[in-house]
Amino acid sequence: MKLTILGGGGFRVPLVYGALLGDHAEGRVSRVTLYDTDAGRLTAVARVLAEQAQGVPDAPAVVTTDDLDEALRGADFVFSAIRVGGLEGRAADERVALDQGVLGQETVGAGGIAYGLRTVPVALDLARRIARLAPHAWVINFTNPAGLVTEAMSRHLGDRVIGICDSPVGLGRRIARVLGADPDRAWIDYVGLNHLGWVRALHIDGRDELPRLLADPALLGSFEEGRLFGADWLRSLGAVPNEYLHYYYFNREAVRAYQEAEQTRGAFLRDQQEGFYARMKDPAAPALATWDRTRAEREATYMAENRDAAGAGEREESDLESGGYEQVALALMRAIARDERTGLILDVRNRATLSVLDADAVVEVPCLVDANGAHPVAVDPLPYHAVGLVTAVKAVERAVLEAAESGSRSAAVRAFALHPLVDSVTVARRLVEGYREVHPGLAYLDRP
């Protein structure tokens, strides 16, 4: 099996390779091709991988290339993990929004729209190239905003592109653990869009155990989302939202905390990773140890401002174990390659799963995966409060896709203005102007 990683010089690639190193079974990945537009980053990451492979006799062979066509030819799986505009771009996405008094975050609200507007044209090109050069490859999209980017790619790749996120699995596992259940035996009823979903039930041996959690303030106070949202709100909602819904339910607090923070998340990660790639310019630097140290700092600070704003305190050791993107990707690849039927929460086209959305809308729902791909399972309808957010955000995503395909500025303004976390059309217009000033990648929005 040949796996190609687009964005192969990315900081998280060693996590993926680490997961592959632990897979010794039949049909495993034996060749990894790293493709990146940045040669320096590619070399740095390849050095980490070489150190990881030491002492592992069946370690997958690694090659690097800056030739996209060569990278794609013969690929069985393609991981798309690109970051258009880099972390500098992310920091600008966050800053421009916060300066307008609205949420500046990687995937949610104005920042996510800006990131989507920059990324979708590139993702569409990649999807076209993959459809031509590797028509039988399965494409796993890691790139945020994952639902939107997967939907864009699905226009050329159909159901051969599947988006992933680790947050639903992580949330499900934390809830199962709090309930004293084996996370691997729980069926999690989680539905919505990427970073916009709710756990509505958690079945163990055919019984929904979520009511037991919601009825118990002590249990609710004992895990991350319980503290983040507060027992009262979770009980009132009757579900446990994805942590990203904190940005909706506690928007003022989140915006204020981010405005007062010394640095945005993107700026923090930019500095940290620049440090790593700069140290790797020294050929004598220990690659794996340097990478590992940087990663540990990153994990420890993940969503720290949100927890502070909510008074949720430090993240506990067990909360750090989120399930991990690489584990979700590996499980997905295995299920397809070996035709081992597996249940996973994934970003796929809706078909008829959520009746309030059309068939092509990419949603994040429980799926059964086998050699024929990911098949969403039937779920209960969304409650109205969720219908409101999900359909509003899908309308935003559709406006982003329209703007990306047509270059229409008014479609871009509509995308920002329709978002529930942007409170004025005037602000939406300023956001489009502000983002066009800082992002050369938005020059394509040149039509009225």
Q: How far is the CB of 268 from ligand G6P (least distance, A)?
A: 9
Q: Taking Cα atoms as reference points, which of 137, 126, 188 lies closest to residue 159?
A: 137
User: Looking at beta carbons only, is 165 or 362 nearer to Mn ion?
Assistant: 165
Taking CB within 5 to 8 Å according to partner kind, which of Mn ion, ligand G6P, none is near residue 265?
ligand G6P
Q: Per CB under 6 A, which region of 67-75, 109-117, 160-168, 378-386 contacts ligand G6P?
A: 160-168
Among candidate residues 391, 389, 396, the one with its CA nearest the CA of residue 428: 396
Among the residue ranges 21-29, 159-167, 340-348, 351-359, the one whose residues contact ligand G6P (CB under 6 A): 159-167
- Min dist CB 205 to Mn ion, Å, is 29
Q: State in angstroms the smallest separation of the CB of 6 from ligand G6P.
A: 16
272 touching ligand G6P, by CB under 6 A: no
Residue 225 binds: one of ligand G6P, Mn ion, none (C-beta under 5 to 8 A by kind):
none
Residue 427 CA to residue 264 CA, distance in Å, equals: 20
Asked if 265 interacts with ligand G6P (CB under 6 A), we say: yes
Nearer to ligand G6P, 288 or 304 (CB): 304
Closest among 89, 90, 82 to 38, alpha carbons compared: 82
Smaller CB distance to ligand G6P: residue 76 or 326?
326
Torsion of CA 419, 423, 429, 435, to 10 degrees: -70
Q: Which residue number, 8 or 197, has a Cβ lying nearer to Mn ion? A: 197
- To the nearest whole angstrom, how small is the minimum distance from the Cβ of residue 52 to ligand G6P? 21
Q: If contact means CB under 5 to 8 A according to the sort of partner, which of Mn ion, ligand G6P, none does residue 345 touch?
A: none
Task: Decide: is 166 part of the binding site for ligand G6P (CB under 6 A).
Answer: yes
Residue 264 in the binding site for ligand G6P (CB under 6 A): no
Q: Kindly give, in sequence order, each residue whose CB lies less than 8 Å from that of residue 322, ignoring residues fewer than 6 positions away.
A: 166, 167, 169, 170, 173
Select from Mn ion, ligand G6P, none the partner in contact with residue 173, using the beta carbon and a kind-dependent cut-off of 5 to 8 Å: none
Which residue, 123 or 411, has its beta carbon nearer to Mn ion? 123
144 touches ligand G6P by CB under 6 A: yes
Verify binding: residue 344, ligand G6P, rule CB under 6 A. no
The closest residue (CB) to ligand G6P is 167
81 binds Mn ion (CB under 5 A): no
The answer to whether 379 touches 365, Cβ cutoff 8 Å, is: yes
Q: Rule CB under 6 A: is residue 169 a binding residue for ligand G6P? A: no
Q: What part of residues 40-59 is at the interface with ligand G6P (CB under 6 A)?
A: none
Per-residue x/- mask for ligand G6P, residues 299 to 318, rule CB under 6 A?
A: ---x----------------
Binding segment for ligand G6P (CB under 6 A), chosen from 25-33, 36-44, 165-173, 364-372, is: 165-173
Judged by beta carbon, residue 108 or residue 412, the one nearer Mn ion is 108
Chain position whose Cβ is nearest to Mn ion: 165
Minimum distance from residue 302 beta carbon to ligand G6P (Å): 5
Number of Cβ within 10 Å of residue 53's Cβ equals: 17
Q: Does 165 bind ligand G6P (CB under 6 A)?
A: yes
- How far apart (Å, rounded) are the C-alpha atoms in residues 332 and 326? 10
Residues numbered 159-198 forming contacts with Mn ion, rule: CB under 5 A: 165
Q: Give the binding site for Mn ion (CB under 5 A).
A: 165
Q: Give the binding site for ligand G6P (CB under 6 A).
A: 144, 165-167, 265, 269, 298, 302
